[in-house]
Amino acid sequence: HSSSFQKRIAHIPLVAVHNNMTTRELLANRVTEALYNLFPDETNWDPQLTAATRPEFGDFQSNAALSLAKKRKMNPLQVAEQIAQNIQTNDICEQPQVAPPGFVNFTLKKQFVASQLQKMLADPQRLGISPRERKQRVLVDFSSPNIAKEMHVGHLRSTIIGDCICRVLEFLGHDVLRINHVGDWGTQFGMLIAYLKEVKPDALDNSSTTSLGDLVEFYKAAKKRFDEDSVFQESARKQVVALQAGDEDCIRAWSFLCEQSRKEFQQIYDMLDVKLIERGESFYNEWLGIVCKELEDSGVAVRDEGALCIFVGGHTGRQGKIQPLIVRKSDGGFNYATTDMAAIRYRVKEDKADRILYITDAGQSLHFSQVFEAAKRIGYAKPETKLEHVPFGLVQSEGGKKFKTREGETVKLKDLLQEAVRRAEEDFRNRLQAEEREESEEYIKRVAQVIGIGAIKYADLKNNRTSNYQFSYSKMLSLQGNTAPYMLYAFARIQGIYRKGDLDLTDGQSESIQFILDDPTELSLAKMLLQLEEMLFLLERDLKPNVLCDYMFELSQRFNQFYENCPVLKAESLPRRTSRLALCKLTANTLQLCLHLLGIPILERI
Ligand code: ARG
């Protein structure tokens, strides 16, 4: 059917035809086709197909009749009736139903649902989802902590959200560059280098194995020295100039400081199992002058009170004056914005990025909107280049207060991650004791690690990223509700049921499995399984990982309803038993894939 159908609608540009259409896309094409046949003189055949807003409407609804009728001064109910009569959906849906004031409602046929499930079952890795035909090069700028400064909870959020987004885009077949834009350049290095030379001169020795210990403490001490001593301030300034000029000693001191920080950051990335390519601000140093020249020559930037400025966005500052984007300060120094301009230039020109995502807190929204606008104006970003700031809210402690330790100190990320693992271990040991189970130490440590780190990630990702999020160990480690432990247990339990059934799903076997979806809970679970791809496409577009968590939670709940209502291992007949075991397997595979996309490994048993 599909090939002749694709030929027929080849001239309809509204819904692109690709090899792997979701059910919604498939149906949308059919609506478009019907609209085209009914109203060939129209210019817009938008099917306006969405998931049904109410269960009694079926699975999908088209609102196209409403706007068409209005435009053509017709009765919307009649237009809807015409669409329902004309549309060819016999292979997908029951006869479409019309509802006032002009909706066309679609209910999927069980047979169609069953055949889709078969495709998913035959492909346990990708669950029938092919990689995108139009592959994009996506550069994701995330994590990005600053050298010698604290890597704080904001960077943790960026790391977790960024990694999840990368995983989803990678899964969909895009070419993803995971870039760590570390703050490894700037005037603070003058102070740090001057201080290093004073207190640890041996660090400059190439063969030195010296370590700085706590870098944040070092930063604080240097800052204190800087604030108190004007002679020191002068030498710090000289170090900046020397560093910029490429002075060997300074470069060595700078590399030493970067290396120290890098080791600390890496510990966090290892704990989280996140991969990043470090390409810090210093990388763009050699282009900063060129960028300013190009900006000035093209007239995109102008001199204003000695500074080189780009007037974008019309943001007014305190005195009601428009705040421009400054790319060169009046003292000749470059800044954060200059680096970001040079970075876009490089990422489009050299990396050939089609889409660039910046995962930072919402506080940087203005900065990015100005930088994006400037980059478009100068042409560093092509008109089709997608530049997107992916903002997120603050991490707060319970009750919405600032996130601090009890002593009022900032929380060290390593401590925070370790504490989650420690608590997960405690919970697990209690459980083992209550169940009188014995497990090896190695196994207990593994479970604690997966649950503890998984809980931190999940708790962060399940929130709408733009809202502030309240950090709570007890909530994220709870076995009830939308949490990582709940999902991990759900997976292990469902996988366990499947294993007990001894169903042969080796190559070729799965195609012969007939799904029987007679019980409403079976059908409802099946339809949720079918929504996986649509959900991922939504995530690809909106970059909101919470839709993934919501999907998993809903899926596991529908599974529970199914399991309450339909005996699996003791099903009424062999075909039913087989079908239900296959539903268990599909649910487990789907949960596994979703967990993987969130950056959480599964445990076969807990
Ligand atoms: N280092 C910055 C910070 O800690 C984040 C950098 C984000 N990326 C960028 N290209 N500006 O806030």
> Is any ligand 1 atom within 6 A of the Cβ of residue 338?
no
The reported pLDDT for the residue numbered 285 is 94
283 Cβ closer than 6 Å to some ligand 1 atom: no
pLDDT at 18: 57
- Angle (CA) 413 415 418, round 5°: 110
Give tens-digit pLDDT for 12-62. Answer: 444 455 566 888 888 999 999 999 999 988 888 899 999 888 888 899 999
Please compute the mean of the pLDDT values over residues 231-250 and round it to a whole number.
Answer: 92
Strand order in the sheet with 355-361: 277-278, 175-180, 137-141, 355-361, 386-392
Whether residue 317 is predicted with pLDDT greater than 90 in this model: the reply is no
Closest by Cα among 273, 264, 599, 278 to 415: 264
Our mutation pick for probing the ligand 1 site, out of 181, 371, 387, counting the most ligand atoms within 8 A of Cβ, is 181
Q: What is the DSSP secondary structure assignment for residue 104, as one 8-state letter? A: E
Tell me the pLDDT tens digit for each residue of 253-295.
999 999 999 999 999 999 999 999 999 999 999 999 999 999 9
Long-range Cβ contacts of 288-291 (<8 Å, 24+ apart): 288/334, 288/338, 288/339, 288/342, 290/342, 291/327, 291/338, 291/341, 291/342, 291/345
Asked if the interface predicted TM-score (ipTM) of this complex is over 0.95, the answer is: yes
pTM of the model: 0.92
Contact status, residue 305 vs residue 314, Cβ threshold 8 Å: no
361 CA distance to ligand 1 middle (Å): 9
Q: What is the pLDDT of residue 318?
A: 66
Q: How far apart are CA 554 and CA 557, in angstroms?
A: 5
Cβ(567)–Cβ(521) under 8 Å? Answer: no
Within 10 A of 587 (CB to CB), how many other CB atoms are there? 26
Mean pLDDT throughout 197-213? 78
183 C-alpha to center of ligand 1: Å? 7
144 CB within 6 A, ligand 1: yes
Counting from 1 in the atom list of ligand 1, the atom nearest the Cα of 336 is 11
Q: What is the mean pLDDT of the chain?
A: 92
Q: Is the CB of 158 under 6 A from ligand 1?
A: no
**How far, in Å, from the CA of 94 to the mean position of ligand 1?**
52
Q: What does the chain come to in residues?
A: 606
Tell me the residue type at 105: N
pLDDT in tens, 520-543: 999 999 999 999 999 999 999 999
- The DSSP output letter for 511 is G
What letter would DSSP give residue 149?
A: S
Residue ranges in 200-247 assigned as alpha helix (H): 215-228, 230-244
Pocket test for ligand 1, best of 140, 142, 144 (most atoms within 8 A of CB): 144
- Binned at pLDDT 50, 70 and 90, residue 133 comes out as confident
**C-beta of residue 453 within 8 angstroms of C-beta of residue 413:** no
